[in-house]
Every structure is written in structure tokens, then in C-alpha cells.
Amino acid sequence: MKCEACRQNAIISSSNGTFCVDHFKSNFEKITLSTIKKYKLINDGETIAVANSGGKDSLSLLYIIAKYFKKKNSIISITIDEGIKGYRDKTIETMKTYCDAWGVTYKIYSYGDFAGATMDAITKLKPGIPCGTCGVLRRHMLNFSAAENRADKMATAHNMDDEAENVMMNLFQNDFEKLIRLGPISGISQYKGFVPRIKPFMFISEKETMLFSMVNGINALHTPCPYAGLGFRGVISRKIKELESEMPGSKRYMLDLMMELKREYSDSYVENPRSQLVNCAACGAPASEEICEACNVKMQIKRLKPN
Amino acid sequence: MVKIIVKNINFGEKQVEIKTGKVEELIKKLRTTDDAVLIVDENGDIYTKDKKLKDGSTINMIEVFSGG
């Protein structure tokens, strides 16, 4: 395959095009910046918190945000330390190295401090697939940390594969409201204490994100979370990759359909949301119930922990 | 037949025999998909699925995964 821009040998062929190293890099940045511009994800003067695990995706995101937005915006890197030995401790070291190199301030928040137990300990206390519990805690802590640091937006490195998985999962769970809450800027409601999440990589595939980190010499750990791939998402993820290989462009079509539905129906859900947000009685964070999911998990862990 | 040494973080190292030497055939033989892996040789060169590998080559098959 030849690069569609210069006819040199290509390193990637995807729904975003077929490119050599140099044109892949420039096209990757172009798509990211045009997503940011088109959906007004970052405005001048805003404080942007970047969810940064120290892995390939989030470091690539921080690289681009630091490169293009550092002059007009305040950038802070936020890391959630789940407490996964031999994995997160390594990526945290990588995160620190790159934040120092790119001149970005970083902060680390841990499950240990919030929930009183690390993810490794939680998996022992609560048998079964841990991804649901981990997701609840991570989302809560990302929002908490972004709010604590007075961020206007929280940027995450969710990519096209992640979003296509979300579309499929919500379809299979018949959750239309969650489906139309997806998109480059999350949520359909404005609420005090809730920091909107932005996804500048939404139109870029997982493979492209991994490749971008490699060709830019971002030396991230190329191994997944040891608990990954165990849940429903793992099944959907494998199926979507099969589908994309059989029918190139199918991930993008899923996203286009979701965006079309969002345009058509999100207004009616803003006016009549299924559930109103309240403040969690325990921690004060925005929640759909009296006690938020994260505080419920925290209380459950406390009950399960041996005295 | 073309013999390729494939390195991977999950299975370590193994020799795979394919007819054409094409990356696409290798990926299929390893029961994965083009969207799920990156094929990189020992010099760091990245191979698209249409590329042909030489007999006796060693490549790294890096699985694409979410997050980090």
C-alpha cells in the first residue's frame, strides 16, 4: 500500500486513510484538532484536566493538548491510581517522566485514599469481574479531581473503538438515553460539580492511537490492564474488531449513526431526562440517586473488609 | 512455504508457516484481525496487511488494546 498523500510506503490503512509515517502523524493531529474545533471541546482560557494513566492513549492525548493548547489554556494531568501492582505503578512512572518533559503539572488520586482499598484488594474482597466496580470509582474520582482542580473540561483519550463499543453496549442493553449521551462532549445536562468530559480522539481508531504513540517515540507500556477483557466490553471489543476487518468503516458508521440520533433526540431528553441529578448525601457529588454509585461501592468495601 | 518467527507478549515466540508470505495470511493464521494487531519487524518497520514477509523473518505482533 502507498501513502495517499506522497506515494511512499504506507504504515497504516484505515477509515481515516492510507498514510506513510509523516502523513499519518500530521493527519492524526489534523483529525484531533478538527474534532476539538468542530465540537468546541476546548475554548481559549479554559482549564483542561487530562485523564492520564501513563498509557499510550492518554500520553498521546497529553502530547497533542500540551503541543497546541498550552499557550492559551491551563493544562493539568490527572492520574487515578487504582492500585494494580506491577501495572499501574509502572505507568505512573512513565506518566511522571512525560509530564516533566512536556512541562505539565500532574496530580495523582488513589482508590486506596478514596475507597480504603486498592483494586487488587477489591478483587479479593468482591469475587467476579472487577471492571464495573473499577469504572464506577474511576469515573467518580476523575470528576472529583477535575472539580477540585477547577477544571472546565476533563479530556479523556476515548477513541473510536471505545465509542463504538459504547454504542453497541447501549444497543444491547436497550439504553437509548445513555446512547445519545455519548459523543465528543459527554452528558446532556449541565450541573454544578459535574465537569464535562471531552473526547478529542473520538474519530481515531485504537490502532491509530497505538501507532501514533509508537511513531512519536512515546515509550508507554504496551500491555493492557491485567483485569481487562474479562467483562461484556471485552466480548464487544473483539467482535467490533472482527467486524471492522470484514467491513472496513463499520466503526465509523456506528458513530455516525449515534451522532445522527443524538442530533435528533438529545433536546427532548434535555427537557425530560429520565432521572434528575441530585447531590450525593454522602460526598456531595452529582448523582442520580440519594447516594452515588461510588459511595455505595465504598460502603460495600467497608462492610467486606475484615476488621 | 514461508517460515516466520512471531513474537508476542502473550504466547512468547513461535514459528508460523504460511503459503504466500503475506501479512494478511499470517494474521489470519494467528486467528486475529488486521484491526486488532500491529506487525512490526526487528528494525521497527511497520507492515500493512498487503506486505510480504521474507522466509526466516522475525516479527513482533503487538496487540491493540484499549486504555493503559
Every domain of chain B and the residues it spans? 2-63
CB A86 within 8 A of CB A58: no
Residues of B in contact with A237 (CB under 8 A): 66
Residues of A in contact with B66 (CB under 8 A): 57, 159, 161-162, 165, 206, 224, 228, 237
pLDDT band at A53 (very low <50, low <70, confident <90, very high): very high
A10 burial type by CB count under 10 A (0-12 exposed, 13-18 middle, 19+ buried): buried
State the count of interchain CB pairs (< 8 A) between A and B.
76
Q: CB contact, 8 Å: B35 with chain A?
A: yes
What does the pLDDT read at residue A61? 97
pTM score above 0.90: yes
pLDDT > 60? residue B59: yes
Q: What is B2-63's CATH number?
A: 3.10.20.90
CB A75 within 8 A of CB A150: no
In a domain, A267, yes or no: yes
The CATH number of whichever domain residue A103 belongs to comes to 3.40.50.620
Domain that holds residue A293: 38-304
Better-scored residue on pLDDT, A215 or B10: A215
End-to-end CA distance of chain B: 38
* Whether ipTM exceeds 0.85: yes
In a domain, A291, yes or no: yes
CA distance A8 to chain B (A): 13
Cα A234 to the center of its chain, rounded Å? 16
Cross-chain Cβ contact A225/B67 below 8 Å: yes
pLDDT > 70? residue A302: yes
Q: Which of A129, A224, A221, A204 is nearest to A162 (CA)?
A: A204
Residues of B in contact with A229 (CB under 8 A): 65
pLDDT > 90? residue A288: no
Residues of B in contact with A215 (CB under 8 A): 46
Mean pLDDT, rounded, for A154-163: 96
In a domain, A11, yes or no: no
Nearest chain A residue (CA) to B34: A245
The Cα–Cα gap between A26 and A220 comes to 21
Mean pLDDT, rounded, for A31-42: 97
pLDDT band at A130 (very low <50, low <70, confident <90, very high): confident
Q: Which of A92, A59, A43, A97 is nearest to A209 (CA)?
A: A59
pLDDT band at A177 (very low <50, low <70, confident <90, very high): confident
The Cα–Cα gap between A199 and A157 comes to 6
pLDDT band at A193 (very low <50, low <70, confident <90, very high): confident
In a domain, A251, yes or no: yes
Domain count, chain A: 1
The Cα–Cα gap between A229 and A49 comes to 27
Mean pLDDT, rounded, for A139-147: 94
In a domain, A169, yes or no: yes
In a domain, A18, yes or no: no
